[in-house]
């Protein structure tokens, strides 16, 4: 099993290295438009063909990995921490705290946050650097993506609150944050890991969808999300397997994360 985990690590490291060295490996700049060859199939010059304005897809995948592989896990971590803070603590404290926190969570789950994002975009200047736009987008995703798992965490923490071993720990004088950190949180890990794992691809895809609001990656900077948007058209359905490479890469990265994260449960 260790072999599988090591392979997953190795794959992630390779992908990270490939993207960090994009300036070295990439046959072209991600923004260069080969206008004489838009939408071209793979060739010696363009390993994965070109996109609709003639940009080298292979180079864009390499550069896009930088953005998505760094930002999405960071945002996923933020949302997981928020879920822990709201769900875990409320469930553990119980009573009025729990009721208020869960009512707020339910409200949070039902709100049309699209309009908040629209207002945020309106407040940002139009001339912001592409990377700032991405960072703000992932920050917003991290801040808005915690509510669902907070509810599951709350249910878990509620169960732990009355469990024998927590009662014993309390009896032996363990209190507050220490009790939370030593006995409660480790038992909530399955939910935290699930939240983290789910959030990565969901945030990568959401980032591209937020392009509709003027958020997300700004042209010509690529991201996995923007590369996946190529598939969102009936015209992309054909035997053009090379267009599926960004999707395949995302699936492999997401699966690798899961293999690494879930080592304690199944691959022990």
Sequence-ordered list of residues with C-beta below 8 angstroms from that of 264, at least 6 positions apart, any chain: 189
For 32, counting Cβ atoms within 10 Å of its Cβ (0-12 exposed, 13-18 middle, 19+ buried), the class is middle
For 57, the token pair is 């897809």
How many residues contact another protein, by CB under 8 A? 82
Residue 165 interacts with another protein (CB under 8 A): yes or no: no
Tokens of 193: 């890991």
182 makes contact with another protein (CB under 8 A)? no
265 binds another protein (CB under 8 A): yes
User: Taking contact as CB under 8 A, which single stretch among the options 10-18, 41-49, 137-145, 184-192 is the one that binds another protein?
Assistant: 184-192
The tokens describing 33, both together, are: 């438009």
Give strand ranges (E) for the chain: none
Q: Which stretch binds another protein (CB under 8 A): 57-65, 73-81, 175-183, 199-207?
A: 199-207
One of 61, 82, 90, 102 touching another protein (CB under 8 A): 102
Closest CA to 12 of 194, 217, 259: 259
Handedness of CA 146, 158, 193, 244 (dihedral sign): negative
Q: Is 245 in the site for another protein (CB under 8 A)?
A: no
Residue from 10, 13, 17, 114 that binds another protein (CB under 8 A)? 114
Q: How far is the CB of 201 from another protein (least distance, A)?
A: 4
- Indicate the SS3 state at residue 55: strand
Q: At what angle do helices 114-123 and 130-144 cross, to 10 degrees?
A: 150
Among 56, 198, 207, 243, binds another protein (CB under 8 A): 198
Using rule CB under 8 A, residue 96 touches another protein: no
Q: Which of residues 53-72 bind another protein (CB under 8 A)?
A: 53-54
Backbone CA torsion sign across 120, 197, 85, 146: positive
- Helix (H) / strand (E) element for 253: namely helix 245-261
By CB under 8 A, residue 159 contacts another protein: yes
For residue 234, the 8-state DSSP code is: G
Among 24, 95, 96, 122, binds another protein (CB under 8 A): 122
65 vs 3: CA distance, rounded Å: 25
Residues of span 224-243 touching another protein by CB under 8 A: 228-229, 231-235, 237
Assign residue 176 a region (left: φ > 0; alpha: ψ between -120 and 50; beta: otherwise): left
User: Is 156 a residue that touches another protein (CB under 8 A)?
Assistant: yes
From 41-49, 72-80, 171-179, 198-206, give the range in contact with another protein by CB under 8 A: 198-206
Interaction of residue 85 with another protein, rule CB under 8 A: no
Contacting residue, 103, 177, 181, 241, with another protein by CB under 8 A: 103
> In the complex, what is the shortest distance from the CB of residue 14 to another protein, in angstroms, rounded to a whole number?
18
Q: Contacting another protein (CB under 8 A), which of 49, 73, 211, 222? A: 211
């Amino acid at each position: 099993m260790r072999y599988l985990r090591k392979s997953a690590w190795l794959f992630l490291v390779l992908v990270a290295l490939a993207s960090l060295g994009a300036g070295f490996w990439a046959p072209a700049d991600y923004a260069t438009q080969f206008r004489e060859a838009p939408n071209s199939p793979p060739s010696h010059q363009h390993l994965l063909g070109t996109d609709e304005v003639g940009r080298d897809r292979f180079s864009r995948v390499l550069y896009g990995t930088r953005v998505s592989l760094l930002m999405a896990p960071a945002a996923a971590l933020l949302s997981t921490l928020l879920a822990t803070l709201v769900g875990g603590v409320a469930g553990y404290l119980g009573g009025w705290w729990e009721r208020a926190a869960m009512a707020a969570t339910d409200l949070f789950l039902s709100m049309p946050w699209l309009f908040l994002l629209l207002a945020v975009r309106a407040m940002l200047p139009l001339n912001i650097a592409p990377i700032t736009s991405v960072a703000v987008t992932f920050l917003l995703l991290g801040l808005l993506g915690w509510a669902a798992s907070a509810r599951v965490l709350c249910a878990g923490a509620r169960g732990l609150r009355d469990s024998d071993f927590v009662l014993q720990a309390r009896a032996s004088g363990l209190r507050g944050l220490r009790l939370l950190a030593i006995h409660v949180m480790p038992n909530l890990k399955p939910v935290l890991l699930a939240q983290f794992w789910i959030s990565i691809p969901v945030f990568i895809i959401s980032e591209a969808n937020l392009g509709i609001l003027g958020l997300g990656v700004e042209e010509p900077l690529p991201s996995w999300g923007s590369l996946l948007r190529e598939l969102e058209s009936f015209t992309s359905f054909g035997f053009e397997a090379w267009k599926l490479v960004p999707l395949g890469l995302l699936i492999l990265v997401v699966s690798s994360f899961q293999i690494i994260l879930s080592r304690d449960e199944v691959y022990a």
